[in-house]
Amino acid sequence: MKRYHHRIQKESYEPGELVLVRTTRLEDHLTRFKTRPRYLGPYEVVRQTPNGTYVIKELDGAVHSDPYAAFWIIKYLTRNDPLLEFQEELDTDEFPEDVDSENFFMDESFAEEN
């Protein structure tokens, strides 16, 4: 087991940080609900207990009665989070001159029909 210890990444969450909680209700019915969201939230971390679980609350302030184990929680990323840097969409002027920018992403069979 020692050779795998470096693969487990324990992330700690500070009070006030936003997190998502994995829902276990769908685990037994994954084929039926495979497109449903697997995480609920966002929730706010209240505190970490001495045994490593987290007490969380709704954004309206209602505290959950049971703490959640750390492996059920992931960090909530907002759209302006620096971890989510997206490339800008291609401008039509960025295409080489020999490429038809209007039909570049169009399916060839569709283009022939129209």
Rounded to two decimals, the pTM is 0.60
The H or E element containing residue 14 is none
The span from the first CA to the last CA of the chain, in angstroms, equals 61
The H or E element containing residue 108 is helix 108-113
CATH class of 9-113: mainly beta
Spatial distance between the Cα atoms of 52 and 50, rounded to a whole number of angstroms: 6
Mean pLDDT of the region 67-81: 86
Q: What pLDDT, on a 0 to 100 scale, did the predictor assign at position 92?
A: 46
Measuring CA to CA, which residue among 3, 20, 13, 2 is closest to residue 59? 20
Measuring CA to CA, which residue among 63, 61, 70 is closest to residue 21? 70
Does the pLDDT at position 77 exceed 70?
Answer: yes
Encoded tokens for 12 = 């700690």
Q: What pLDDT, on a 0 to 100 scale, did the predictor assign at position 90?
A: 37
Condensed to tens digits (0 to 9), the pLDDT of residues 27-41 reads 666 666 667 778 888
